[in-house]
Amino acid sequence: MGEETIKKIQDAGVVGAGGAGFPTHVKVSASARTIVVNGAECEPLLRVDQQLMARNAKEMIEGLKTVMELTGAQEGIIALKDKYKEAINTLQREIAGKPIKLNVLDDFYPAGDEHVTVYETTGKLVPQGGIPLKVDCVVTNVETLINVAGALAGQPVVDTYITVTGAIASPVTLKLPIGTPINTALSLAGAGNLKGMKVIDGGPMMGKIVEDLAEPITKTTKGLIVLPEDHPLITKRQKAIDRIIRESNAACIQCRFCTDLCPRYLLGHKLEPHKIMRALKHIQGQEEALKMAMVCSECGVCEQYACIVDLSPRKVNAMLKKELGKKGLKPEMPKEQAVLNIQPHRKIPVKRLISRLGLTQYDKKAPLSENEYTVDKVYIKLHQHVGAPSIPVVKMGQRVQRGSLIAKIPDNALGANIHASISGTVVEISDSIVITSGEGSDR
Ligand code: SF4
Ligand code: SF4
């Protein structure tokens, strides 16, 4: 254990499967007292982690034990929800006698925001603008840990699990080769005719509309949600920022519901979205208020749940974050931070959220398929993780086997290795992608 194990994780190209794709070999090189497994999966309709925890509990615990040993952690805490009964039963057997415990959460949003998860499981407050390591914790994802276990056995990351759901006949969770085009994933899930439909990549709260269905899935894709193009979750996402600002200036009644329900504000962060909305009107001299946007997690509670006049503080904050980021500003860490005593009473029940989002008819199971799917062609992005894009190590026309290295981490850079997800021939290489055409059944 130690350097050799970290090298195996690096070689296998493991990255955080549930977020932005931070390279796992770097994350596990830190020291921490506690490893928190984020199994809350709080985005409505997504069904990946809750099923993997039940089906792949053994591998997940092996991955967790490895990460605990590498970081020197004394305890592992698995945060999951009360309603994941099968996962709870299986994991209870697997963790018996180990320094690992389950932390069963109520069904609220956003239980999976890492600041919220760390607070709910350990009682520690990650400082605003900081990462869990500041309070001696590392947060990791279910699928990531399963990939760590795979790395120990010499298996690189070549597949990812995604839930395909929404307005389709039979929602399902599939294991697909990385680089599978989204339209292929949808057709494998039986999505049928997509005329008049739009697709969200990710959850209904934080996901983005897919502009081009030929785009491939990556190591961090978790869900595809098909919705009619006139569904409020689609039309709201399509509003231009100029219009959002005009509407904010005209219609914000300063009720402050957005602030009172903001999960980060409730954890004591200096983030009051109603003040940001007020400051938008008079930009001059309002820099301090506008700077608060830097600590917004973009969870969407203010926009999709709190605001009674249908405004979008989240999008305003996202725009401000981009602008302030260009000026090199970073979120400030306060000297003191205290959770508000109303916090426990302001958690948003997921059932109510689903109803507010107009998703009740789509709130269905999406069973994990055991099929091993074959695809003809994969479009593997060279930048699907935090850090520098990977550098191709294959040539045009080269034969590759599923699992062979096709792009490596640039020298002395943060990044992740990338592997062929099907066996076949490399047919295109650019700065951003390697395309492999397969022989179908030889996976
Ligand atoms: S999106 Fe809204 S509710 Fe969520 S952290 Fe940002 S301001 Fe708060
Ligand atoms: S909830 Fe809406 S109307 Fe109320 S303060 Fe926030 S943005 Fe303005």
Q: 3-state class of 90 per DSSP?
A: helix
Boundary-marking domain end, from 373, 407, 434: 373
d(CA 37, CA 332): 27
Instruction: Judge whether 6 and 28 are in contact, CB under 8 Å.
Output: yes
Give the pLDDT score at 336. Answer: 84
| CATH code at position 20 | 3.40.50.11540
**Residue pointed to by tokens 């062929």:** 420
How remote is the CA of residue 112 from the centroid of ligand 1, in Å?
A: 14
Q: Is the CB of 65 under 6 A from ligand 1?
A: no
Tell me if residue 379 falls in helix, strand or coil.
strand
Mean pLDDT value of segment 132-146: 97
| 353 part of a folded domain | no
**DSSP classification of residue 357:** T
Pocket probe for ligand 2: among 252, 271, 346, the residue whose CB has the most ligand atoms within 8 Å is 252
Digit-coded pLDDT (tens) for 66-105: 999 999 999 999 999 999 999 999 999 999 999 999 999 9
Same domain as 397, residue 275: no
* 296 in the same domain as 341: yes
Residues 223 and 305 in one domain: no
| Ligand 1 contact via 110 beta carbon (within 6 Å) | no
Distance 303 CA to ligand 1 centre (A): 8
Cβ density class 32-46: b for 16+ within 10 Å, e for less: bebbbbbbbbbbbbb
Q: Which CATH number covers residue 198?
A: 3.10.20.600
Q: Could you tell me which residues are beta bridge partners of residue 177? A: 159
Q: Report the half-sphere exposure of 399 (CA within 13 A, side-chain side).
A: 3
Q: Looking at residue 330, which CATH number applies to its domain? A: 1.10.1060
What's the 3-state SS for 97-121?
CCCEEEEEECCEECCCCHHHHHHHH
In a domain, 400, yes or no: yes
The ligand with the least distance to the CA atom of 300 is 1
Tell me if 108 is assigned to some domain: yes
**d(Cα 324, Cα 343) in Å, to the nearest integer?**
29
pTM of the model: 0.94
Same domain (yes/no): 226, 261: no
Share of the chain above pLDDT 70, in %: 98
Distances (CA, A) of 108 to 1, 56, 113, 333, 353: 38, 24, 11, 27, 9
- Residue 185, domain extent: 158-231+358-373
Distance separating alpha carbons of residues 337 and 339, to the nearest angstrom: 7
Beta strands 197-201 and 172-177: pairing type? Answer: unpaired
Give 287's pLDDT tier (boundaries 50, 70, 90): confident
Q: What do you get for the CA distance between the two ends of the chain, in Å?
A: 32
Task: Kindly state whether residues 362 and 225 are assigned to the same domain.
Answer: yes
Q: Provide the CATH number for the domain around residue 388.
A: 2.40.50
Query: Do 224 and 243 belong to one domain?
Result: no
Which pLDDT tens digit goes with each residue over 421-432? 999 999 999 999
Query: Residue 380's Cα: distance from chain center in Å?
Result: 19
Report the separation in Å between the CA atom of 387 and the middle of ligand 1, taken as the mean of its atom positions.
26
Average pLDDT over residues 321-341: 84
Domain assignment present for residue 331? The answer is yes
Query: How far does residue 117's CA lie from ligand 2's centre (Å)?
Result: 26
Q: Which residues contact 250 (CB under 8 A, 6 or more apart)?
A: none
Kindly state whether residues 145 and 15 are assigned to the same domain: yes
**Cα 197 to Cα 194: distance, rounded to the nearest angstrom:** 5
User: What pLDDT score does 157 carry?
Assistant: 98
- The pLDDT tens digits for 398-423 are 999 999 999 999 999 999 999 999 99
- The residue whose CA is least distant from atom 4 of ligand 2 is 255
Structure tokens that stand for 231 in this block: 């569904």
Do 249 and 276 share a domain, yes or no? yes
Domains identified in the chain, total number? 4
Q: Is residue 163 part of a domain?
A: yes
DSSP letter string over 293-335? GGG-----HIIIII-TT---HHHHHHHHHHHHHHTT--PPPPS
CA 274 to ligand 2: nearest atom = 5
Nearest-angstrom CA–CA distance, 329 and 324: 6
Is 27 among the domain residues? yes
**Per-residue DSSP letters for 214-259?**
TPBP-TT--EEEEEETTSHHHHHHHS-HHHHHHHHHHH-----HHH
Q: What is the pLDDT of residue 63?
A: 98
Closest ligand to the CA of 206: 1
Which tokens sit at 250? 């005209």
State the DSSP string of 180-206.
Answer: -BHHHHHHHTT----TTEEEEES-TTT
Domain-located, residue 352:
no
- What pLDDT, on the 0 to 100 scale, is given for residue 441? 41
Residue 311 Cα to ligand 2 middle (Å): 7
CA of 107 to the centre of ligand 1 (A): 19
Q: Hey, which of 261, 298, 320 would you mutate to test ligand 1's pocket, going by the most ligand atoms within 8 Å of its Cβ? A: 298
Test site for ligand 1: of 258, 299, 312, most ligand atoms within 8 A of the Cβ: 299
Asked if residue 127 and residue 168 are part of one domain, the reply reads no
SS3 state of residue 211: coil
Predicted confidence (pLDDT) at residue 443 exceeds the cutoff of 70: no
307 in a structural domain: yes
Domain identity same for 174 and 118 = no
Same domain assignment for residues 217 and 325: no
Q: Are residues 33 and 98 in the same domain?
A: yes
What is d(CA 43, CA 49) in angstroms, rounded to the nearest whole number?
A: 11
Last-in-domain residue among 134, 152, 170:
152
The answer to whether 64 touches 99, Cβ cutoff 8 Å, is no
Mutate to test the pocket of ligand 1, among 43, 108, 262, 311 (most ligand atoms within 8 A of CB): 262
> Residue 179 pairs with which residues in a beta bridge?
none
Distance CA 275, CA 314 (A): 13
Going by C-beta distance under 8 Å and a sequence separation of 6 or more, which residues neighbour residue 418?
13, 380, 382, 384, 390, 405, 406, 407, 408, 434
Mean pLDDT of the chain: 94
Confidence of residue 288 (pLDDT cuts 50, 70, 90): confident
171-174, Cβ contacts within 8 angstroms, sequence gap of 24 or more: 171/45, 171/47, 171/362, 171/364, 171/365, 171/366, 172/366, 172/367, 172/369, 173/47, 173/48, 173/51, 173/366, 173/367, 173/368, 173/369, 174/369, 174/371, 174/373
335, pLDDT greater than 80: no
**Is the C-beta atom of 417 inside 6 A of ligand 1?**
no
